[in-house]
A and B are shown apart, each in its own frame.
Chain A
Amino acid sequence: MAGMKRKSREGNKGKAAFKKKKNQRSSGGADGRRKRTGPRLPNAMLKELQLPKRYTDSDDDEIGSGDGDDVVVNNDFYEYEEEGVAEEESKKNRRFDPVQNYQYELPDDFEDENVPSDEEDGNDDEDGQRGDDDEEEEDDDGRHSRLLQEITGLPTDAFDGKKKKNDVIISEAYSESEYNPSRDILDGDGRISIQDLLDPLHGKPDHGKLRKSMSRMAKKSMPIHAPLPKTDQEQLGRRAAYDVVQGDVTKWEPHVKRNREAPTIYFDEDKHVGFSTVGAIAAEFEPRSDFEKKIASLFNDHEVVEAHRKDGARLLELNKISVEDVRERQDQLAKMRILLFRHEMKAKRVKKIKSKVYHRLQKKDRLKQAGAAIETDPAAVKEQAMKQEFKRAEERLTLKHKNSSKWAKRILKRGLDVQDEGTRAAIAEQLNQHALLSRKANNMKESSSSEESSDEDDLDETSDGSDQDVAVKLLKKAKDKTAEVLEGDEELPASGVLSLPFMVRGMKRRKDAADEEAKLALEEYESSLKELEDKNKTKTQGTNILTGRRVFGAQKKQAPEPKTKVTSDNYYGDSDSEGETDAREIGIGACEENNFSGREVHFDPNSLREESEIAHDSLFKSFDDVARDPSSKTSYEVSISADDSWKKMNDSSVKRKQTKSSNAKSGISLQVTEPVEIDEDSDTDSGGEMVDGILTSGIKSTYEIPSQEELIRRAFAGDDVEDEFEREKQDALNEEVPEPEKPVLLPGWGQWTSIQKKRGPPSWMLQEHDNAKKKREEALKKRKDANLNHVIISEKRDKKAEKLLTQTLPYPYTSQEVFEQSMRMPIGPESNPATVVPALIRPEVVKRSGIIIKPIQFKEVNPHERAQDNKRGGVQSKKGGKSKGKATKKKTVDQKR
């Protein structure tokens, strides 16, 4: 409703204001007074129609400001309006961001926007209150001049003159409104022309210039052309975009070129993969924990460092320790040694004991201890659970206890009835064990819950009689026990492992924790006891408290709280334990929260209230129960057996390797003396030649008569060697380049008549033959040995050697010659100096594993400049860009050209 009102009023007002202003300017006769009196009636009427209450206020507002944009905004529909509160303050209440400008209010907004609101608004308020006409007027004038200034961009003083001129006011009877339109509106269009704006500047220094430029602009104004067709526009846009993008892309060209031309691209520059040495890691180390800091402070101790840096002599001084310290330490060490020794001796002695009874007791003890550990130590519980689970799995796998053993089978075969009592019991026991072990999962929880339930059962039994009494009794008993535990310091064993200092410390710690728990429990007991007593007292008065419906939560607890406080205070006053205050606090806190069972202490307030149960503090669980707990027992046993089996396995697996001694056989064969057979050759050679060997200096004289055999061989061998070779060559050629077969017709074909015979084979056959012959000739001419009469060079393919040749020309090569020339140099380390080998065999991309290749980064490079060649391992390599700087080897290309 309010919003609607506001709007409608706004619309009117906007128009009115506009008109009024024009009026002022054009006629110079409008003033605040008219305004004030003029629009009142219609506005008032409107307001009365819609919102009588706010009539005065809003009207005042309007009149005061002439336009109230802020007010308008503040008068939002949803806003809670506070009267008489400054606008800034009232803004606090806005539920959402106020809109400063409504589009339809542009003219007003325009005016108001640049008016400092604090000043103005304050004035407005005051004006509204005081109703001071003069000030109002002044204000109006100022605003108007500002408007002009805003529009024309000229300094304010330009308009001052106008104001003075306009001092002569033609007042209108009514302020303008739609009911009282100004003359302008009635005359024609109500727009402000440039002329209007220029007129008042007449005579000002800049006026002429301004007018000139105005007229120029007016002349120049040309008809606006119709916009280009959309396709053309888009094309132009694309073209422009293309140019931009092209420029963008071409800047990469040198980069790309460089990378393309680089023989090797390196990606491992300035890449820090991580610490490579222990030293580097150590250098990065920063102490964080207290301990580390302490150590670090010692390390960086100025004195120590200095001492180190010098000759280390001062280190000795710094190292000084007092005699007492040393003695103490020695004593401690000696004590430890003695303890260890004693423990060892004891262990030895114990190990030797063969008594079964002793061992049974021992075992029991161990179980007890384990049970205790389970109660107190969550880790132990977990371990136990794991063990149990493992046992279960094993049992389910092996079914060891399910009458599957040889013994059980035999007994079952013979019938159970025949067996004696013991055997039957044993069998039953086995089955029982199987059932226990292979029970479904969560058996740990089950067992614990069953224990609880059994406990509860017990309690139930006892509490059958009189609830209250029993509860009190039980509570008292529990309290006593707890106190006992608290007071009765467990004797620390003077010897044995448990007497070792760390064990002692651990035990102490555990005991402290337990004590704390006990105290808490005690407190609880006391409080509940008190409660019970109270109840007992109040029972006579009103039992309905008890019998009424249960009330949960803290309310119930609140009543006994102070008492517990007192008692606990007393108690702690008596006791001299260390953590007394802490415990008290905790106790109080716990009482308040009534949430006692935060940790392992299973203590729920409900049960307390019910009085039928006593909290089950784990501390008070009897060890015997735990020891009797079948699950834990069996698991223990199994673990032992597992150990044994493992040992056995080990034993069996250990085998001794037998080394076989191999007899080296000596291949020395002694030559038996045999009659030495010597070739006829050698005989003749050594015999004859040596006999007539003459020392000669001439070549001729060296010719000696060869042996008979030699002569014969020579006589037959040297027969017309050249002809023979010629023939051989022909044969070889024929074999490698076979002669074409002569054209033959099938017998009987084409031989019927003498004419046919005369004609011989058909011409095409002859031609083919001729062709083949020609081909052969050519092939022979191409052979390497074509011009060498004394040489036959085989041109047979060697299939085996073909694998050493490439079948085709490798890809980038187009000419065989180029390929072979490029392959002429071996690149291995055997045939090249060590300095060049790495360069010769460098791969195209050098990158250490683990390095991420980042996208190429733009870096200004001179496209005409060859990148600097960095010597690296005797090779050119370039480290241009960060990611991909590569060396171009263009220099060499140019040289070659």
Chain B
Amino acid sequence: MVVKVEKIIPSKNIADTDEVISEEMDMKKKKYLRGEGANLKELKDKKLQGQLAVKEELYGKSATAAAKAEKWLMPTEGGYLEADGIEKTWRIKQDTIASEVDILSSRKQFDIVLPDFGPYTLEFTPSGRYMAAAGRKGHIAIVDMQNMKAIKELQVRETVRDVVFLHNELFFAAAQKKYPYIYNRDGTELHCLKEHGAVLKLQFLRNHFLLASINKFGQLRYQDVTTGQMVANIRTGLGRTDVMEVNPFNGVVAVGHSGGTVSMWKPTSAAPLVKMLCHPGPITALAFHPNGHLMATAGMERKIKIWDLRKFEVLQTLPGHSKALDFSQKGLLATATGSFVQVFGDLSGSQNYSRYMTHSVAKGYQVKKVTFRPYEDVLGIGHSMGWSSILIPGSGEPNFDSWVANPFETSKQRREKEVRSLLEKLPPESIMLDPTKIGSVRPERKKEKPTKEDIEAQMEAAIEAAKNIPMKKKTKGRSKPSKIAKKKQEAVEKAKKPFMEQHTNKRKLTEETHLPKSLERFVRKKTAA
């Protein structure tokens, strides 16, 4: 058995030939090219052709440079678990792993027993440095995972259903019994978000600074945490649910309902973007792959389905109940039911998920939440008796980008980043199913023809207006009632005319087209106006 946990730089095989390297580079370059360039040969415009050629060349350079940078700046490879012979990776226990890995990594295996405050839900900051844990019965703790120090512990003395960090570890929102509250790191209550009501699940959209919540009545609300403005208040109309997850790729919020449907929402439309029937029974859990293309749903009917969101088709159906689902950065899928945690992995990269690891927390513990710790091979498990942390080799991204998330962030960096991220805050309307479409050409809109009623109503209005035109009083018999009546009549006719013309034109056209073949030659050619 070989256990590799990240941060262990594997000794490179010197036998790597140039070919392999160049192939590798090509692969990486392709990744950074983000798709293919246009076929320039087909362009008729030579100038554009030249310009695009220059552009493409620059893109190529950029991709090459990025690939090189990746090669040299991100040398750490992810860990993995390899079975020898008939060994199965999922048979490997945490104890065995602990004995194999270095001390630092083995420290990440622990159980925290807090029996009094009910099942715990966990939330990591994007850098994986801090964790918020909220016990059902009012215990909220912010923990620095690097030195395992509890930064703040507080007891709110009411039900806490969910907790999320806002843009950094300084603020977090907790869904409590009646309302969600926003606290700062010191445990000071900053806001009470009464409009949200009794929220069952909270999510924070980092790029848009939106706090999304779904409450007991199935109302989905978006609130901008920078301005406090309520961006959207959507009634899903699909009943109470506490299954809600944000697609990290595009910011679309997916909600799993008791009817077996998953609906995806954006703040700018009242109707769901997508509504899909995933399971025949209620949906118990939902998770998105970090790349946004995969979604895992778990239904009551003992099935876990993995969906391809580009095609909205099921990729794979796995058996099993699941109360909690989570994808790791590297794409491992953790599910939990009761006290049993299972990790699926697509180690072959073919999105064919198979059992990778299993783990059972102590007997009788009911797992409420599983969540992978970013940039670490660690899975956090929140359960009814506290929380525990286990090692899942190969789950975390081994290289971190300090511009994205820095586990070793200093307070100054944090401040800078806060300002930066605020400046780069995306507007809520930029949430859409395919954000790469931003900047592209607007799809052609069908010209909406006015219905007959509309036209008639318009005509009526025009006639009415024509009738009510005040007449000037004129002398020399020009204001005779007969004359006035005539004038009015004329005005009405004039007002009617455009509408009538539309009708007649249409009629004429249709008539023309339906003339018998033999008669068509007699039709007068329409003279150009």
- Give the interface of A toward B (CB within 8 A): 260-261, 263, 666-669, 671, 673-674, 676-679, 682, 685-686, 689-690, 693-697, 699, 701-704, 713-714, 717-718, 721-722, 724-725, 728, 732, 764, 785, 788, 790-794, 796-798, 800-809, 812-814, 816-825, 830, 832-833, 835-836, 839-840, 874-875, 889-890, 892-893, 896-897
Contacts and interface: CB of A to CB of B under 8 A. Distances in A.
Interface residues of B, number: 97
Given A678-B137, A798-B269, A261 B50 contact: yes
B34 A702 contact: no
Contacts of B320: 699, 702
Contact of A667 (B36, B37, B189): B189
B362 interface: yes
B166 to A, nearest CB: 16
B282 A833 contact: no
Given A704-B338, A790-B276, A889 B57 contact: yes
Contact of B53 (A794, A800, A804, A896): A896
Nearest to B274: A793
A856 B445 CA distance: 49
B62 A840 contact: yes
Nearest to A807: B442
A835 B403 CA distance: 17
A693 B56 contact: no
A837 to B, nearest CB: 8
A699 B319 contact: yes
B48 A812 contact: yes
B364 interface: yes
Nearest to A785: B312
B429 interface: yes
Interface of B: 33-38, 40-41, 43-45, 47-59, 61-62, 65-66, 69, 118-119, 136-138, 155-159, 177, 188-190, 239, 258-261, 266, 268-269, 271-278, 280-282, 300, 302, 312-313, 319-321, 337-340, 342, 358, 360, 362-366, 384, 403, 428-430, 432-433, 436-442, 445, 510
A677 B53 contact: no
A714 B282 contact: yes
B429 A798 contact: yes
A778 to B, nearest CB: 11
B206 to A, nearest CB: 15
A722 B312 CA distance: 16
Contacts of A797: 445
Identify the 7 closest CB pairs spanning chains A and B, nearest first: A695-B363, A693-B364, A702-B338, A717-B258, A833-B65, A805-B442, A800-B429
A788 B429 contact: no
Contacts of A724: 259
Contacts of B337: 699, 702-703
A833 B60 CA distance: 12
Contacts of B48: 812-813
B259 A721 contact: yes
A889 B50 contact: yes
Given A721-B260, A820-B440, 17 more contacts: A666-B188, A676-B157, A685-B136, A693-B365, A694-B363, A695-B362, A702-B321, A718-B259, A718-B281, A718-B300, A794-B274, A798-B269, A801-B432, A805-B441, A812-B47, A820-B441, A825-B62
Contact of B278 (A666, A790, A816, A875): A790
Contacts of B258: 713-714, 717-718
A808 B313 CA distance: 33
Interface of B is mostly: loop
Contacts of B239: 717
A732 B118 CA distance: 42
A469 B220 CA distance: 121
Contact of B57 (A678, A718, A817, A892): A892
B33 A835 contact: no
Contacts of B340: 696-697, 699, 702
A823 B437 CA distance: 10
Contact of B442 (A792, A806, A812, A818): A806
Contact of A823 (B119, B319, B439): B439
Contacts of A701: 338
Contacts of A800: 268, 428-429
A260 B51 CA distance: 10
A821 B275 contact: no
B55 to A, nearest CB: 6
A874 B37 CA distance: 22
Contacts of A892: 53-54, 56-57
Nearest to A891: B57
Contact of A805 (B34, B268, B342, B440): B440
B339 A695 contact: yes
A131 B489 CA distance: 130
B264 to A, nearest CB: 9
A806 B62 contact: no
25 contacts: A260-B47, A261-B50, A668-B188, A682-B136, A695-B339, A699-B320, A704-B338, A713-B258, A714-B282, A717-B282, A718-B259, A721-B281, A722-B277, A791-B274, A792-B272, A800-B429, A801-B268, A801-B429, A804-B438, A806-B442, A807-B441, A817-B38, A823-B439, A836-B58, A836-B61
A896 to B, nearest CB: 5
B280 A703 contact: no
Contact of A725 (B38, B261, B360, B428): B261
A689 B339 CA distance: 11
B58 A839 contact: yes
Given A699-B321, A801-B430, A806-B442, A668 B189 contact: yes
A690 B177 CA distance: 22
A823 B59 CA distance: 11
